[in-house]
Each structure stands twice: as C-alpha cells, then as structure tokens.
C-alpha cells in the first residue's frame, strides 16, 4: 500500500464566476495544506499522515488546465508555499480551449 492523502477541491464555475475566481480557488486548495502544516492546531489526520515535502498536483480535463496554470504560477519546489513543496504536476487529458469556437 502506498500511503497518500488526496484532496479534491471544488471550484467556482463560469458563467456565474470569472475564470480568475477558478484560479484563486485552485491556489487556495494548495494553500490549505500550507496553513495546516504551519498551524499550532492542525487537523490530526492530516498532520500525522502527510509528508508536506512531497506534494503532487493532478488534474483531469478542466482540472488539468488548472493544474497547468498552477505549474506555471508556482513551478517546481514552490518556495513561497513552504513547508509544502510541490514536486510535480500530472495533467490527465487537460482541456485547453482555442480562440475560435468549434462545432
């Protein structure tokens, strides 16, 4: 068995919210483990089980697009997220729309 914790956040959708709100939600999803790691009173199930130095961000479809934009914003190592360290990104069938609409 491979010990791991998976955090699967929701994010605000268009057209009710602009695209930047979605990116804010994705970044906040990465900041939450940082807050837990730095907290004096973190959730015990998280602090006892998680190696904050080995974080991977995974996204499928539009989530792959979000993971891509987080990779561009944070990069590998993500020093501003310390002690959380993003080691890699996995984009599973990311959705990247074009500038022209298709049928």
Q: Structural domain boundaries of the chain? A: 19-39+50-92
Residue 49's pLDDT is what?
A: 73
Look at residue 44 in the predicted model and tell me its pLDDT. 81
How distant is the alpha carbon of residue 92 from its chain centre? Answer: 14
Cα–Cα distance, 86 to 79 (Å, whole number):
9
The model's pTM is 0.77
Question: Which segments of the chain have a pLDDT < 50?
Answer: none
- What is residue 98's predicted lDDT score, i.e. its pLDDT? 66
Give which of 84, 82, 86, 83 is closest to 70, Cα–Cα: 86
Cα distance between residue 76 and residue 55, in whole Å: 10
The whole-number pLDDT of residue 1 equals 54
What pLDDT is stored for residue 8 in this prediction? 82
């Amino acid at each position: 068995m491979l010990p791991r914790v998976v955090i699967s956040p929701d994010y605000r959708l268009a057209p009710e919210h602009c695209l930047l709100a979605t990116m804010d939600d994705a970044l906040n999803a990465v900041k939450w483990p940082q807050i837990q790691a730095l907290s004096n009173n973190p959730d015990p199930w998280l602090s006892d089980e998680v190696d904050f130095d080995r974080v991977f961000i995974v996204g499928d479809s539009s989530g792959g697009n979000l993971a891509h934009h987080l990779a561009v914003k944070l990069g590998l190592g993500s020093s501003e997220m310390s002690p959380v360290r993003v080691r890699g990104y996995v984009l599973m069938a990311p959705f990247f729309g074009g500038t022209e609409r298709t049928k």
